Structure 1
Amino acid sequence: MNGFMKKIKRPVIHVESSCQVEMFVPENDVKQATAAPPGKDAVRFKDSDPRDIYLGSLCIETHLSKAGIVAPSLIRQLLSELDWSDFKCKYQAGGRPPYHPRLMMGMILYGIAKGVSSLRGLEELARTDLGCMWIGGGICPDHSIFGRFINKHRVQITGDFFMSVTRQVLERTGSDCESVAGDGTVVQAAASRFGLIKQEAARQAQHDAERSAKENPDDPEMQRKKEVADEVAKTLHRRREARRKKGKPFDHVKVSRTEPQAMHQPLKTKQRAPSYKASILANEKRIVVAAAVNPSSETKAVKPMMEDVKKLSGQMPRQGMFDAGYHCQEVIDVAMENNMDLPCPAGRTNNNGSEKKSTSKHFPKSKFVYDDQSDLYRCPAGEVLKPTEHRRGNSTEPGYVRYGTKSCAGCQLRDGCTKSAGGRKIKRYAVDEKKEALRQVMEQKGAQLRYLKRQAMVEPVFSELRYRQGLMRFRRKGTDAVRLEFFLHVSAHNLRRAAAVLSVVFLRLWLATRRYCSVYVPPPLVTASRRRSPPPGGRRFLS
């Protein structure tokens, strides 16, 4: 290298929009773009009008409407109602006019909603997809422009833009954030599961990187490798210590040498690989109102997501529904602090929230009844368990009181209770009182009926993110980059849900108009036959 990078020059490609149409075209099909000229110091953006794009002698808008393709028109309309000043302030006046942020963002979200999330895939989509041409006005950015745009506006995408899009979608769909359902899933990281190392290898890699950095102090690549090696060693040591303090085995802890932020944990396929925990809160219309990414915990994301919902709607949700994995102190404390209903079962449950019979050979802790007045437990055999040990808590583990009895030796139910020679022991934590109260609430029919709604609110969202938008694995590395990618996916999901809900509203209005009118009224955007059955080639976008 000669100290500088070679500048890559690519031809600017755009869809032809010269408005040269055939004769005898209806006058209302030919629309010219009119825009006020910008000020002297203002940035001039390339904001093409898609109404100038024709397919033969037919305007592309008319073609999409006749074909029953609703999403592009609704997405472009929703995005045009947003404030883009935070995006525009990132550009400087002069030079070639940049593409308008509304066009770029619309094409990215439209592509992700269709399952195209790679940069080169978006580049191809802009040149071949009519819906993408309508949203983007016929511009054809290449993959590098898409990548630079995402990196330039990463703060806005994960912050105010997501809030603005979600707020607009909630308003247009007539939904709110009073009742939300939360869940999380494991998404594999971009790092390979074959590039994992343990403590000895991490220390050796750190030592080699430090030596190479000292020998080449002016080489930025060597300095970068040293920083990565230091982060890998520190992350591995921190995770080993965390497991050691909890009394768990820590000799087999592994960390990715290229993406140490990712946690080595089981996936949905039962394999272990570097991955992240992605969490969401969705309302009754399956609109994501909050999202978060954590390397290892789903429960730690509940409080930040609830605070995001408060920023979005101005108040905390009235009800939050979670599965048994969220039956813990962190989630219960958030619900109590905000006076929020918490339909959340404990242990393995049926679809309505009622507890399933335990498959374990031993009695679960819930079968032992606690008497707060006498401070003792009563086991299924009727024996009394008294306090035998008091343990103080620390920064990593909470304190507890251990209960036991000497009556286990001659008990007839011993085989179904414990194998310990010292008898059955029960630990009681400070949060157990709140868990028992929540368990009593979930035994009521009203709470079980409310919990029934949770599965239909949040479970389909992850199915759509995985199998319709292709979020099987993150493409970017690092917690911040993964969070950016996840927020792009949930923003695209919200726009797709808004388009689906609004298309149903338009269809119902058309059916009502057709019923009470003697004159035939053509369908507004979609036809009833297309909504009853998918096309032979597979399900249509937003079908």
Structure 2
Amino acid sequence: MSNATFVDYSMNQLFLPMDLEELIPPRHVVRVVNDAIDQVKDDVFLKHYPGGGRSSYHPKMMTKIIVFAYTQKIYSSRLIAKAVRENIPFMWLSARQTPDFRTINRFRSERMKQTIDEVFSSILQLLIEEGYIKLENYFLDGTKIEANANRYTYVWKKNVDRHQKNLQVKIHDLLCEIDEIEKQEMQTYQDHDLEELGEHSTLTAEKLEETVAQLEQRLQEEPENKPLQKRVKKIQDEYLPRYQRYEEQQAIFQERNSYSKTDHDATFMRTKEDHLQNGQLKPCYNLQVGTENQFIVGYSVHQRPGDTKCMISHLEGVRAKLGTLPKAIIADAGYGSEENYAYLDRWNVKAYVKFNTFHRENSKKWKRDISKVENWSYDEEKDEFICAGDKRLTFRNETKEQTDSGYEITKRNYQCHECEGCPLREQCTKSTTGRQISVSPALMEYKKKAREILGSDHGRTLSVQRSIEVESVFGHFKENRSLRRFFLRGLPKVSIEVGLLSLAHNLLKKTAAQMKSTGDKVG
């Protein structure tokens, strides 16, 4: 007989306590999520429910389980539904209610589209009130994240433009043939100028449909006209559908140069994750994130590959959520444009923003380059630039340029008339008419301020801190949160996904800060 003893084991024995909350550690992240969402005003959710019909799951409960799921790297609606049935923290959050995966997915895709910004702003205000965020230094950067789309089903605007233009010429030629057959010239189409169907056409699919309708009417009057019948059939069956497809594609492009067939909102961009080193373009979104103390203060998703034109729309979103802008913006050279500097100046925000040549200007090679305007002197009284050969560039005229957003850039143009015989000419210019330069006085002044502010001890400290601040958040997203590729499709849903990830990140940071202050381990 064995003398072994065992702890009493009976699957039919009931144990106390029956409350699930007793099984959750006191500083578990699920408690932080629960407390944070509870403090969001009910009206944020309830105003989107008109009432009537079948009772819905409470929006706070649904928001809690989805946000907590994102803290646990659970993104699939099926896995969230499974966790709600089986996982103790999820069961506690849902009060043992069990929404199915369709309900969870529908709430995330439809309801959260209306509430995610307000929920994020509400929790951000709580973090500000609790002292985690002070809105002093806003560290901004962007990263490209691959869309949930096929990498090889792309549409390029240049190709569509070319095909559309060629088709217009074919349509024009075919209609001219029809006129030749009928010997009626332009009188056949009183409302349609055939010359407009050439290379510089304003032809639309609607106009083409009207033309086809007129031709079909003629065919009813002349059913034996086989040449006309053949050409009308070609326009109707081949040219019109193709032209309609090109118009649809042009509408999808908007201001972009490409899109993916499986996610029309995704744009093809170059990324750092280029394992084959062949410059492969992938369908991506440009994620812009601003942080303070590694908490996410603002986020936005863009379809533009470059960061420069994303800054103002991103900060406008931050201002809309918070009602104000942080005191200082710290960003790298990708954001250093005149328009961005002017925007920050207008809102009295201190700009620790580098411009594209900031680091190169300090190199020996740059300082020895006599062709660089930055190495010249300027005679303010005579409004003349003096080059390295002691020749003067005199003012010629002033021109204005406009950015995509409507911002106007004023440029002053100068030309040297003394280049002939200058021993430094070959190092300075290849122009046969003499060296010409075009400068923006406003941008030159902004760059001067940027050099001063970034060259200060505080400026250098913040520049170093920027890489630690934002890059660590991107690292957390990509490595710890497994966000190498978005899970949802379409710009609205991707924005929801980023909002949920940002909420999860901030609540995890808050949990870690609380653990650190008490010496506990993260739950």
TM over 0.5: yes
Taking a change above 3 Å as real, the CA distance of residues 373 and 434 of structure 1, as seen in their structure-2 partners, is: farther
Match of 1:114 in 2: 72
1:179-221 deviation line (CA, Å, top 9, x unaligned)? 21111111222232311232168748x98xx99xx9xxxxxxx
Aligned length: 429
The farther-off stretch of 381-390 and 72-81 is 381-390
1:384 paired to 2:347:
no
Gaps of 5+ in 1: 1-19, 32-49, 52-58, 215-224, 240-252, 508-525, 528-541
Match of 2:122 in 1: 164
Counterpart residue identity of residue 426, structure 1:
I
CA distance, structure 1, for counterparts of residue 431 and residue 148 of structure 2 = 45
Counterpart residue identity of residue 77, structure 2:
L
Match of 1:303 in 2: 312
> Structure 2 residue aligned with 1:267, among 251, 256, 271?
271
Q: Match of 1:499, SS? A: helix
Match of 1:511 in 2: none
> Structure 1 residue aligned with 2:439, among 428, 449, 456?
428
1:439 paired to 2:448:
no
Counterpart residue identity of residue 342, structure 1:
A
1:328-372 deviation line (CA, Å, top 9, x unaligned)? 12321222112121111223667xx99556689965553344443
Report how far residue 295 of structure 1 moved.
0.9
Match of 1:290 in 2: 298
CA distance, structure 2, for counterparts of residue 364 and residue 125 of structure 1 = 62
Given that 1:190 and 1:474 are in contact with CA atoms closer than 8 Å, whether structure 2 keeps it comes out as: yes
> Structure 1 residue aligned with 2:105, among 147, 154, 169?
147
CA distance, structure 1, for counterparts of residue 364 and residue 268 of structure 2 = 32
CA distance, structure 2, for counterparts of residue 394 and residue 82 of structure 1 = 43
Paired residues for 1:105-504 under 5 Å: 105-197=63-155, 198-199=159-160, 203=164, 230-236=247-253, 238-239=255-256, 253-269=257-273, 270-283=279-292, 285-296=293-304, 297-347=306-356, 355=362, 364-388=372-396, 390-394=398-402, 398-405=409-416, 417-418=428-429, 424-432=435-443, 433-504=445-516
Match of 2:23 in 1: 60
CA distance, structure 1, for counterparts of residue 367 and residue 77 of structure 2 = 49
Counterpart residue identity of residue 403, structure 1:
Y
CA distance, structure 1, for counterparts of residue 62 and residue 363 of structure 2 = 50
The farther-off stretch of 286-295 and 367-376 is 367-376
Q: Which has the higher helix share?
A: 2
Report how far residue 238 of structure 1 moved.
5.0
Report how far residue 315 of structure 1 moved.
3.5
Counterpart residue identity of residue 394, structure 2:
K
Given that 2:147 and 2:285 are in contact with CA atoms closer than 8 Å, whether structure 1 keeps it comes out as: yes
Taking a change above 3 Å as real, the CA distance of residues 355 and 168 of structure 1, as seen in their structure-2 partners, is: farther
Report how far residue 168 of structure 1 moved.
1.9
Taking a change above 3 Å as real, the CA distance of residues 348 and 399 of structure 1, as seen in their structure-2 partners, is: closer
Given that 1:70 and 1:503 are in contact with CA atoms closer than 8 Å, whether structure 2 keeps it comes out as: no
CA distance, structure 1, for counterparts of residue 367 and residue 99 of structure 2 = 58
CA distance, structure 2, for counterparts of residue 464 and residue 88 of structure 1 = 33
1:506 paired to 2:506:
no
Taking a change above 3 Å as real, the CA distance of residues 430 and 294 of structure 1, as seen in their structure-2 partners, is: farther
The farther-off stretch of 73-82 and 406-415 is 406-415
CA distance, structure 2, for counterparts of residue 231 and residue 422 of structure 1 = 48
CA distance, structure 2, for counterparts of residue 202 and residue 129 of structure 1 = 56
1:8-39 deviation line (CA, Å, top 9, x unaligned)? xxxxxxxxxxxx9646x5xxx454xxxxxxxx
Taking a change above 3 Å as real, the CA distance of residues 486 and 420 of structure 1, as seen in their structure-2 partners, is: farther
Question: Normalised by the size of structure 2, how large is the TM-score?
Answer: 0.70
Given that 2:44 and 2:115 are in contact with CA atoms closer than 8 Å, whether structure 1 keeps it comes out as: no
CA distance, structure 2, for counterparts of residue 305 and residue 447 of structure 1 = 23
Taking a change above 3 Å as real, the CA distance of residues 394 and 291 of structure 1, as seen in their structure-2 partners, is: closer
Q: Match of 1:343, SS? A: strand
Counterpart residue identity of residue 255, structure 1:
Y
CA distance, structure 2, for counterparts of residue 318 and residue 441 of structure 1 = 14
Counterpart residue identity of residue 271, structure 2:
L
CA distance, structure 1, for counterparts of residue 472 and residue 50 of structure 2 = 43
Given that 2:361 and 2:367 are in contact with CA atoms closer than 8 Å, whether structure 1 keeps it comes out as: no
Counterpart residue identity of residue 333, structure 2:
A
Report how far residue 465 of structure 1 moved.
1.6
Taking a change above 3 Å as real, the CA distance of residues 237 and 94 of structure 1, as seen in their structure-2 partners, is: closer
CA distance, structure 2, for counterparts of residue 359 and residue 256 of structure 1 = 41
Q: Match of 1:339, SS? A: coil
CA distance, structure 1, for counterparts of residue 447 and residue 413 of structure 2 = 17
Report how far residue 157 of structure 1 moved.
3.1
Taking a change above 3 Å as real, the CA distance of residues 334 and 119 of structure 1, as seen in their structure-2 partners, is: same
Given that 2:308 and 2:336 are in contact with CA atoms closer than 8 Å, whether structure 1 keeps it comes out as: no
Counterpart residue identity of residue 299, structure 2:
A
Counterpart residue identity of residue 443, structure 1:
G
Counterpart residue identity of residue 199, structure 1:
V
Taking a change above 3 Å as real, the CA distance of residues 384 and 227 of structure 1, as seen in their structure-2 partners, is: same
CA distance, structure 1, for counterparts of residue 361 and residue 84 of structure 2 = 50
Bigger Rg over Cα: 2
